[in-house]
Structure 1
Amino acid sequence: MNNDQKTTSNTIVASESPIKIGIAITAEEKREIYHFRYQIYVEEMSKSIEDVDYENELLHDELDEWAFLIYAKIDSKLIATARINIGILAKIPQQIVEILSLNKFSEFNNENIVQKFSYCAKLMVHPLYRSSPALYLLMAKCYELAYQNQVQFAFSLCNLHLVRLYEQMGFHRYTNNFFLGGYGLVVPVVFVVNDTHHLRSVRSPLLRIARKRELVTTQAVEWYYEKFTKHSSIVNSQIITEEELWSIVCKFLHHPPTEAISILHGLSETEAKKFLHSCGSLVQCATGDIITTQSEISYTYDILLSGKLKSLTFHHPIKEYTVSGQHFGANGLTEHNKHTEDIVAVNSVEIFVLSGMAFPRFFHSHPDIAHKITRTLSNLR
């Protein structure tokens, strides 16, 4: 989404009726959601997903049978949707259990109450409304359903360009990434439902809802901290300071980032720090992680900080990425280009992901810096 689309979105939303959130009940409402998913994932994002019904232009699977299918509408127009499943561990498909490492969370025992988990997926917003409150309202509804059903840990999966957004909402990264066919490399994230302190730390918009809740127990919060947070090396994009992030990037590169990273050429150190902190995330990838997938649309601008990558598409000669500060993949920051190769991590790698979803807001707040970046990217083609 470019800056012009963002402006158009704001104009449209401001002139229309309020956004209404509801849960699909009828077969007609559900079918409308399944078609909306097809429009976003297949037609817009060019994803090749196993569960797609191409003949009828629908996208649905077995989890839809027992999920809350949430929608956001303006008048009768569907502009966004999300799905949340809430149930005991045995009810959740084994693949999801493994991807999310749910067995680790089943170790938490609160007064021998049967533990319920929630899993939010298929969250998407129409391109013209991605600057509207629709996403927040969907997230808020998922949060509400989770705590109403005594859920302690709410899970989801996101692609790399959405890591910042999920962390801003209050989610944590906590385990390895996973390559999910049709969806690319996904990051498991968890929302610790009663962790009001964390919501405050990341300035989550969901804090306004959390404050209205009655006194909540914190056993699950304390357990999560001891089990996952205490010894984690994952860097939360919303907690780290501008100076701390710059220091980490400098250590990886062994050179000033303004020299080692081509997209930063032409920026002062102060401008580069602001840009990286406002749009970027540090992401760890394990050996074998497929980071970009040929023919899928890019929503990030990816930079190798450490480790080694190679192309699975170009074999003769083998194409490798080994230089710290090197860009790889298609530009998804200022444009939405398609990746031209499958790129895999040869060993453990650290990458810096600049989000194309974060850039429009940065453009609005810091237009002078953003224009310099856009010009630099044009010259790098």
Structure 2
Amino acid sequence: MLNNYRQQMSCSTESPESSIKICIAMTPEEKREIYRFRYQTYIEEMSKHPEEVDYDSKLLYDEMDEWAVLLYAKVNSEIIATKRVNIGTIADFPKKILGFLSLETFQNFNTEHGERKFAYITKVMIAPAHRSSPVLYLLIAKCYEICCHKHVQFIFGACNFHLLHLYEHLGCRRYCKNFHHSGYGLLAPIVLLIEDIQYFRKVRSPLFRIARNRGVLNTKAIEWFDTMVTNNLPSINSQIIKEEELWSILCKRLNCLPTEAITLLHGLSEAAAKKFLHSCGIVVQCYPEDLITVQGDVSYSYNILISGRLKSLTFHRPIKEYITPGQHFGANGLTEHNKHREDIAAISSAEILVLSGICFQKFHRSHPDIAHKIVQNSISLTRKSYLD
């Protein structure tokens, strides 16, 4: 049945405003092009070191590609983005993925369509020149359409912290503890509920336009999720929290104004600092032994500890020099893409403020004066760190 649906969906859908075509890979040649595009993005550009790499042929693939739906976007004949979705029962997924995503928790939810099916999205990659285009939304929309057809209620994924702001805007929710994936770093599990229409509306998800046209919705999955999952692991959603609320939380955690504790904000007015933090920041909960930065990995965010304690596993420091609330740690990935120089892990439950470089690019266009001051501060801090 899945093969038949692949044939039906393999005809491209085109976005007239950008000439982006979304396709499903059907041939070995198409799949090989995707594997090569993955290698170029993850290995050559991002300097990641996943286990499943064919360095000789410059291809990135693994056993889950054998039963996945491989989506890709192209402009003319050039692949500009790709995404993989695996749809199956809990028995189809490797044990390590069941553990990472806590899939067995979702077995408790009853479904009207026989054996429960889950969707797992991975290998999402976009070429640098198209990361501000609508291509991610087009891929998500196609995936959403496929999962609706297969009666999937939950679409799972995981992302690095700097992408949480983006995925929460699309309609995803955080729901369980982070996990470390070799070659990809510390990841936050996320889930998108197919019929979460009110939530889509609340976070202004572009999926709302599709979801509201699906007719009568079954809200049982949403009610179950809110009762069993959300209440047990609350998080600060970047799309729901208001500027004043985020500012108040940071003041409480830091025991002072963020403009006093966070050197990156020095010289900004309170109003400007609030706008910047709300537009680019997301609060993430970490747990003891979470490895937050990995030496040699490219940074895409600017991280600030706001509660708890962290330590370097690379450079042994006295206890009094452990990273404490208000301090920046790791490489600057907000205004440039530097590589982390040390492994840093949590030694207690901790919260970090992640300032996303992706969000900062958009913020720079809409608030250039504030962004310019942030860039100036980051340059000064970088010079100081090298002198130290």
The answer, yes or no, to whether TM exceeds 0.5 is yes
Does residue 309 (structure 1) correspond to residue 310 (structure 2)? The answer is: yes
Moved over 3 A (4+): 14-17, 316-322
Instruction: Quote the sequence identity (%).
Output: 59
Residue deviations 1:64-122 (CA, integer Å, cap 9, x gap): 00000000000100000000000111001111111000000010012472110000000
Partner of 2:4: none
The correspondence of residues 131-146 of structure 1 with structure 2, limited to 5 A, is 131-146=132-147
Q: 2:361 and 2:87 mapped to 1: Cα distance?
A: 34
* Secondary structure of 1:25 counterpart: coil
Aligned amino acid, residue 211 of structure 1: R
Structure 1: 5+ residue stretches without partners: 1-13
Q: 2:240 and 2:78 mapped to 1: Cα distance?
A: 37
Q: 1:319 and 1:344 mapped to 2: Cα distance?
A: 16
Structure 1 residue 32: Cα displacement: 0.3
Q: 1:170 and 1:216 mapped to 2: Cα distance?
A: 17
Is the Cα contact below 8 Å between 1:308 and 1:320 reproduced in 2?
Answer: no
* Secondary structure of 1:189 counterpart: strand
Partner of 2:108: 107
Partner of 1:56: 57
Partner of 1:241: 242
Q: 2:269 and 2:365 mapped to 1: Cα distance?
A: 19
* Secondary structure of 1:197 counterpart: helix
Is the Cα contact below 8 Å between 1:311 and 1:319 reproduced in 2?
Answer: no
Aligned amino acid, residue 301 of structure 2: T
Is the Cα contact below 8 Å between 1:310 and 1:319 reproduced in 2?
Answer: no
Is the Cα contact below 8 Å between 2:174 and 2:191 reproduced in 1?
Answer: yes
Partner of 1:156: 157
The correspondence of residues 188-203 of structure 1 with structure 2, limited to 5 A, is 188-203=189-204
Partner of 1:120: 121
Is the Cα contact below 8 Å between 2:281 and 2:355 reproduced in 1?
Answer: yes
Structure 1 residue 212: Cα displacement: 1.8
Partner of 1:67: 68
* Secondary structure of 1:298 counterpart: coil
Q: 1:136 and 1:50 mapped to 2: Cα distance?
A: 28
Partner of 1:210: 211
Structure 2: 5+ residue stretches without partners: 1-14, 383-388
CA RMSD between the two structures: 1.6
Distance 1:91 1:239, change over 3 A: same
Is the Cα contact below 8 Å between 1:362 and 1:370 reproduced in 2?
Answer: yes
* Secondary structure of 1:244 counterpart: helix
Distance 1:378 1:316, change over 3 A: closer
Aligned amino acid, residue 313 of structure 1: T
Q: 1:315 and 1:232 mapped to 2: Cα distance?
A: 33
Q: 1:288 and 1:378 mapped to 2: Cα distance?
A: 31
Distance 1:316 1:228, change over 3 A: closer
Distance 1:56 1:212, change over 3 A: same
Does 1 or 2 have the higher relative contact order (CA < 8 Å, sep 6+)? 1
Aligned amino acid, residue 47 of structure 1: K
Question: How many residues get paired?
Answer: 368
Structure 1 residue 323: Cα displacement: 2.4
Aligned amino acid, residue 91 of structure 2: A
Aligned amino acid, residue 86 of structure 1: I
Structure 1 residue 379: Cα displacement: 1.2
Distance 1:330 1:86, change over 3 A: same
Does residue 82 (structure 1) correspond to residue 83 (structure 2)? The answer is: yes
Q: 1:230 and 1:258 mapped to 2: Cα distance?
A: 32
